[in-house]
Chains A and B, each alone.
Chain A
Amino acid sequence: MKMLQESTLYIEKNTDILEVDINALVKCASHVIVPLGPLDTFAARNPWVGLEGQSFEQTARRLKDTCEVDMYPNHSMFQSAIDHGEIRQDFIEKGIQEWLNSQAFELPRERAEQFCRAAILQDDQYPSDIENLELKSVAKKLTNFTNYIIKSLSIKTYSQSLEQLGKANAAQVLNSHMIKWCKLFLDKSQAVWLMPHREEGFYHAWRKLVQHDSSLSRKVRTQLSELPIDAEGALKKVLIELGVSNSDIQEYLEAHFLALPGWAGMMLWRSQQSEEEASLLLDYLAVRVSMEWAFVKPYLPLPENRNEKVNLEPLIAAWTEWGNMPIDGWLKLSSAEIKKHLILAYRFDKIVRNRILLEAWEKTYEEHLKKMITSQQNNIVIPDVKPALAQFVFCIDVRSEPFRRKLEKAGDFETHGTAGFFGLPIETCELGSNHTHNSLPVMFNPQYKVKEIAKESKPFEQRNQVVSSLGNTFKTMKHNLFSSLVLPEISGPWLSLQTLARSFMPRSTGRTISKMLNTWVQKPSTELSLDKQQLSDSELPIGFSNNEKVHFVRQALKMMGLTNQFAPLVVICGHGSHSTNNPYNSALDCGACGGKSSGFNARVLAALCNLPNVRESLASEGIIIPKDTVFVAAEHITTLNELQWLYVPELSDKAKESFKQVQDVLPMVSEEVNAERIPQLPNLKSHLKNAKGEAQRLSEDWSEVRPEWGLARNAAFIIGGRHLTQDCNLDGRVFLNNYNWKKDKDGAILANIIAGPAIVTQWINLQYYASTVAPHYYGSGNKTTQTITAGHGVMQGNASDLLSGLPFQSVMKSDEEAYHEPLRLLVVIQAPTSYVKRVLEQNHVFHQKVKNGWIRLASIDTEGSWVSWY
């Protein structure tokens, strides 16, 4: 487990900057951004993971100040949540009371309450109507009081300050230059003519090129050509020239990272991929700050502005409008009272108000969940002794919940929830591909490699090659001056045929094309390389040793709470999605598998569980898997709400019978789930007759921007037995992880769940949260105006930051209506209080998340009563 990182580097005030360890400073500063990998393996990330040392509210203040990003939902989201009864008035009231208690104002309580109540639902920070002469004259008389309320501003980049002073659009120009250099450097061979010198590293390449860049003035070019030859020297030199004081350097660099968090994040990701590029972030800053220096040099020194006196007029206006206080009333107050009034109005600002509203919203949801779960506990039937016909293991993903609910209703089936990588730290490699994928949560590293193999794979590979050679021929011809000129005439007829077919019959065209491809390719039946082969020390071992096999199976079974009473058929279900023409389709795949389907991992686990020697070893430890129990693997296609078989070995008689029953009910189950889920997507028709057909269209239509809702509206993570939630309609909003504290005496399983799945779910949750509250900054903007760049990610319009989160369409029903409810994840643990305490003591990272409001925690103790932990 990762230790808490030191996030600020302390530098003595009078240290010479040349002696400062600039690498360490850059590293510390980089905690404001997160690594951003390529889009085709989109894995959810918490954009604030490095900022969790501070509270949510503090971070919100800082980001608002530095880059004008709101971390709280906006007014209209709150307003409509209130309209829909999703925020209870009494929780708002309670929030106000608690805040007033924490502030210890000496104002008459009633007066303060009245002010807060009136202010809480206001859209504006303060009343905008301050053009009143009387108000102005009163404010003038109270000027002395401005000394009591001083706002300290965070450090901005010089180009930002310059822009705020209205002297030049330096920040915009700097950003567009940085975007240009980053995309050319990071390009994954989209361009035919590569950026020259780029193998020498970012700073070196830039330094050699920038002197010839005619989009810069001659003066700037000369200045830049005189920079030191190494990035470190350059960065230090320009920091000195800019006159950034030692104590400010880190925050100053952070402001630079926050200007384009996407491109900086991509640099950070690259720097983590290989040793050679480890100092890429330093390069990035050296380039960026050097250019800033060249742009702002004519304006130096800039006026220093660290503290700002607060304007009193809005505060007075607030009291007039929300506190019913006449303007001339101020002059009758004593100076102590004036001060108290002003401070109250100043402190009860938009961020505090939003925090209270968000907490009330979250509490309302918690109350709803609590009622649903606890009301059900009274009528829990003691589980049948008779084992189920079949057991299904699903990913904790919120989309599993509706499917599990319907499946359980359809027959004598039992379902379990566990993280979709099934505890296997593997890198996967599919047949005929030399591309490997890290199929595990992004915060871990793979330790094994598993390959898909086939006895006779040559013909398959050759046929596969034919398919890709068509694309390559197209590309080669496009990139040649002569052949590119006739390419439209050669490929035009084919492309238009496809376009017409996709326009008239979106559903069947996509299916026909993929069917034809499959028929052509004829993928042979494959096996997995499960037995250990160590090729070299530098590479990951392929497969597992016997002990490792037993270890991973044991761990997986324990994590999913399936160690006895095995049904004859155990189905390990991975999940993946199907969508067409969607750059974000990996965002709809399994978040625990690094943004790909978890089907591969499901296959590996099922195959391991069927190995006779694994079962023998497990039996000696007390985990007895009956002889006629067979593990099979399947993939839950979340777009279609279907289960497709991936691996079905020879079945025992009992298992055969179960398998048949499962086969029989599956069509009905997926129909029911579709009927529940599909109408939630925006549609032109008022009611849907054929939900299955619509689901197929969603997955095949090339013009579809919302093939499914993915994990939108996720809100809670329940760690506990399925009987807790068995009969609840959780509306596809809850991650479910099986856990039985009685089988976990030492708390090791719970610690594992908290360190792995809980973090994955929190990251997913905050990714959706951030993409909803700041779609332009933490989301990916509008899908319709995106352009894919450098083979890595997307930009908006002509050029923009490399966008990191989910697109607008994935969280919004329309431009004006949100679908996702931005709530911070509520983790509910079903375990005795002492278990929860223990896990908080052991896991500091988790404790910090709870303490600072990045996640919320509740538990259900042995008596079945609900405890909130904040």
Chain B
Amino acid sequence: MVISLPVIFLALLCLSVLSGLLLLYPKVPLSFVQFHVGVTLLSPLVALIALVTSTETVIYGPWRFDSLSWLLALFVLTIGFIVQRYSVRYLLGEHSYRKYFALLTITTSADAAVWLSNDLRLLLVCWGITLLGLTLLIALNKEWVVARNASKQSGLHFALGWLFLLGAFIWVTQATGQWQLSTVLSESSLSQLDSWEKTGINLLLILAVIIPAAQWPFQRWLLDSVVAPTPVSAVMHAGLVNAGGIILTRFSPIFSGDIAQIILLLLSSVSVIIGTGIMLVHVDYKRQLVGSTIAQMGFMLIQCALGAYLAAIIHAVLHGLFKSTLFLQSGSVLHHSAEKPSRKNKPTSILWSITGGIFGLLVAIGLWMSSTQEDYQLISALILGWSVSIAWTQLVVFGSGRIGRIAGFVLFIGAAIIYSFVHDAFYSVLQEIIPKGIQTPGPVATLLLAIILVGSIVGVWLARHRSSTMYVRIYLWLVRLGEPQHDLIESHPKYLIQRFVRGGHLR
């Protein structure tokens, strides 16, 4: 049973790619798409069964099946299924309809295979296919000059990131003489590496992960790829950008305890601030989402840098589901914004607000005390406490009347229960397989806290001094960071007319 699950899984994965390719054949009726989408559901189902039933690590040829790889395969393929299911109607009538499904299936299957690879060469090939597939998906409307330019730009970024990864892998295998992930990362082979070699490999790894994660200074491609159709953005933000966290988790034996961690920490803290800034000043919904992704990926990499790999994986998965949902329902934003919040009982509730603050603080202290008191736990406790206080204020304090407050309270408790339930579930599945990071040097966490605190204090100060030149400069700088380049803007999408003229027939 344990052996056969990987076989079944790989066979089904191949089957879904095959049925995707079959779609490209024009004689296959278009309604085959529905069948195809059904087929793509099978492999994640197997992954789910495997995740629930098997706990041990299985090396099967060049593949490696453990609960982390099962989880990631399940996650990527589920996102792939959701997006394909969505696109059946959403893209109906597009002239690249068939090509889209084929490409998307190949991309997500390759992406799942990346996390199952035990052989570094296989990993590189699969990762390359994933990146290539996404580049082509961005250029799906290939008559549209803007989409072509954006695809070119993303492609260049991806290629660079891939080359860095290649460099890191070659270095590591040259030094250890191994291509197998499981043996490369064993203690005996790692001991062959000098510490400068380790740092070199780590720096290459960092470069390889921050490019797909759109971290500063490589955030451009993600901002400009908003031209892609909505489902493609959903896949990109859910399944590709978070690859960095997973790679670092896999390579944590090399990465942990190295000076490179601090470099990563700095880069990603800057990205958190920039990403949040872009989200705060921009007014296009999709651009705000991109800003938020940059910040979230920054946070995920911070978690890695602090050695909290398990937290990073949880964050990557939940953020992926979160962001893809927000993209897919981006057509509903207008109706949400129609009703403005009314803050009727604001003045009466100063006392309540204070209780919110105190409550948040208590939660933070409680979490910190009950944790293993690592660096990351401190930050996590503070952030959670802060969020608790905001949620409490919004839901309970601003609740309208008795009904409002009671309902707000129930919602609050419900969210808290679900939150801890989900985290417990993740912990119980992954605890064994994910390495615990080595404690980072003390000042690192303090440094990080200082950066984020200063960032948010500056933010609050600026928001209160809107007419100061400082605000104007920072505002415009953030606007510029988030704005697309001129050759990625077309005032009117002329390709629509050209396509129509070429296509030809009415009804």
Chain A interface residues toward B at CB < 8 A: 38-40, 70, 74-77, 79-81, 83-84, 169, 172-173, 175-176, 179-180, 183-184, 187-197, 208-209, 212-215, 259-260, 433-435, 458-459, 461-463, 465-466, 468-473, 476-496, 498-500, 503-504, 580-583, 585, 682, 684-686, 701-706, 774-777, 779, 781-785, 787-791, 795-801, 808-809, 812-819, 821
Can you list 13 pairs linking A and B with CB atoms under 8 Å apart?
Answer: A70-B497, A193-B463, A476-B394, A482-B456, A488-B318, A493-B419, A702-B329, A784-B231, A790-B284, A796-B490, A814-B94, A816-B502, A817-B506
Q: How many Å from the CB of A634 to the closest CB on chain B? A: 24
Q: In the complex, which residues of chain A have a beta carbon less than 8 angstroms from the beta carbon of B91?
A: 784
The closest CB in chain B to the CB of A791 belongs to B337
Query: In the bound complex, how far is the Cα of B319 from the Cα of A478, in angstroms?
Result: 13
Q: Which of A472, A782, A785 has the most CB of B within 10 A?
A: A785
Q: With A175-B489, A776-B494, A788-B330 in contact, do A488 and B400 touch (Cβ < 8 Å)?
A: no
Q: Which of A470, A582, A791, A798 has the most CB of B within 10 A?
A: A798
Q: In the complex, which residues of chain A have a beta carbon less than 8 angstroms from the beta carbon of B273?
A: 481
B506 A80 Cβ-Cβ under 8 A: yes
The closest CB in chain A to the CB of B147 belongs to A797
B interface, by DSSP: helix, strand, loop or mixed? Answer: helix
Q: With A214-B477, A684-B88 in contact, do A462 and B401 touch (Cβ < 8 Å)?
A: yes
Q: How many Å from the CB of A287 to the closest CB on chain B? A: 15
Q: With A193-B475, A503-B81, A813-B93 in contact, do A179 and B480 touch (Cβ < 8 Å)?
A: no
B506 A785 Cβ-Cβ under 8 A: no
Which of B18-26, B178-186, B202-210, B384-392 lines the interface with chain A? B384-392
B94 A784 Cβ-Cβ under 8 A: yes
Q: How many Å from the CB of B134 to the closest CB on chain A? A: 16
The number of chain B residues touching the other chain, given as a range, is 35 or more
Q: In the complex, which residues of chain A have a beta carbon less than 8 angstroms from the beta carbon of B391?
A: 473, 477, 483, 490
Cβ contacts B370-409/A at 8 Å (1 or 0 each): 0000000000001110110011001100111111100110
B285 A469 Cβ-Cβ under 8 A: no
Query: In the bound complex, how far is the Cα of B505 from the Cα of A487, in angstroms?
Result: 48
B506 A484 Cβ-Cβ under 8 A: no
Point out the residue from A194, A434, A462, A795 that lies within 8 Å of B284, measured CB to CB: A795
Answer whether residue B341 sits at the interface, using C-beta atoms and an 8 A cutoff.
Answer: yes
Point out the residue from A83, A583, A775, A776 that lies within 8 Å of B331, measured CB to CB: A583
Query: In the bound complex, how far is the Cα of B94 from the Cα of A196, in angstroms?
Result: 41
Q: Which of A259, A682, A814 has the most CB of B within 10 A?
A: A814
Give residues of chain B (449-507) contacting chain A, Cβ–Cβ below 8 Å: 452, 455-456, 459, 462-463, 466-467, 469, 471-473, 475-480, 483-484, 486-497, 499-507
Q: In the complex, which residues of chain A have a beta carbon less than 8 angstroms from the beta carbon of B415?
A: 490-491, 494
The closest CB in chain B to the CB of A460 belongs to B403
A701 B89 Cβ-Cβ under 8 A: yes
Point out the residue from A466, A488, A686, A797 that lies within 8 Å of B493, measured CB to CB: A797
Query: In the bound complex, how far is the Cα of B425 from the Cα of A47, in angstroms?
Result: 57
Q: In the complex, which residues of chain A have a beta carbon less than 8 angstroms from the beta carbon of B330?
A: 787-788
Chain B interface residues toward A at CB < 8 A: 30-31, 33-34, 81-82, 85-95, 141, 144, 146-147, 150, 224, 226-231, 272-273, 276, 279-288, 292, 295-296, 299, 314-315, 318-319, 321-326, 328-342, 382-384, 386-387, 390-391, 394-395, 398-404, 407-408, 411, 415, 418-419, 422-423, 452, 455-456, 459, 462-463, 466-467, 469, 471-473, 475-480, 483-484, 486-497, 499-507
The closest CB in chain B to the CB of A214 belongs to B480
B491 A785 Cβ-Cβ under 8 A: no
B399 A465 Cβ-Cβ under 8 A: yes
A197 B315 Cβ-Cβ under 8 A: no
A815 B292 Cβ-Cβ under 8 A: no
Point out the residue from A184, A479, A777 that lies within 8 Å of B283, measured CB to CB: A184
A499 B325 Cβ-Cβ under 8 A: yes
A817 B90 Cβ-Cβ under 8 A: no
Query: In the bound complex, how far is the Cα of B81 from the Cα of A489, in angstroms?
Result: 21
Query: In the bound complex, how far is the Cα of B484 from the Cα of A706, in angstroms?
Result: 30
B418 A493 Cβ-Cβ under 8 A: yes
B295 A40 Cβ-Cβ under 8 A: no
Q: In the complex, which residues of chain B have a beta carbon less than 8 angstroms from the beta carbon of A466?
A: 399-400, 403-404, 407-408, 411
B501 A74 Cβ-Cβ under 8 A: yes
Point out the residue from A76, A462, A480, A809 that lies within 8 Å of B506, measured CB to CB: A76
A782 B314 Cβ-Cβ under 8 A: no
Query: In the bound complex, how far is the Cα of B337 from the Cα of A788, in angstroms?
Result: 11
The 5 residue pairs across chains A and B that have the minimum distance between CB atoms: A816-B503, A80-B506, A814-B93, A492-B318, A798-B484
Q: How many Å from the CB of B89 to the closest CB on chain A? A: 4
Q: With A212-B473, A259-B491 in contact, do A495 and B90 touch (Cβ < 8 Å)?
A: no
Query: In the bound complex, how far is the Cα of B279 from the Cα of A704, in angstroms?
Result: 28
B299 A485 Cβ-Cβ under 8 A: yes
Q: In the complex, which residues of chain A have a beta carbon less than 8 angstroms from the beta carbon of B88?
A: 684, 703
B90 A705 Cβ-Cβ under 8 A: yes
Query: In the bound complex, how far is the Cα of B339 from the Cα of A188, in angstroms?
Result: 12
B400 A465 Cβ-Cβ under 8 A: yes
B322 A492 Cβ-Cβ under 8 A: yes
A84 B506 Cβ-Cβ under 8 A: yes
A192 B280 Cβ-Cβ under 8 A: yes
Q: With A191-B283, A499-B321, A787-B286 in contact, do A581 and B332 touch (Cβ < 8 Å)?
A: yes
Q: How many Å from the CB of A60 to the closest CB on chain B? A: 15
Point out the residue from A260, A476, A702 that lies within 8 Å of B491, measured CB to CB: A260
A465 B404 Cβ-Cβ under 8 A: yes
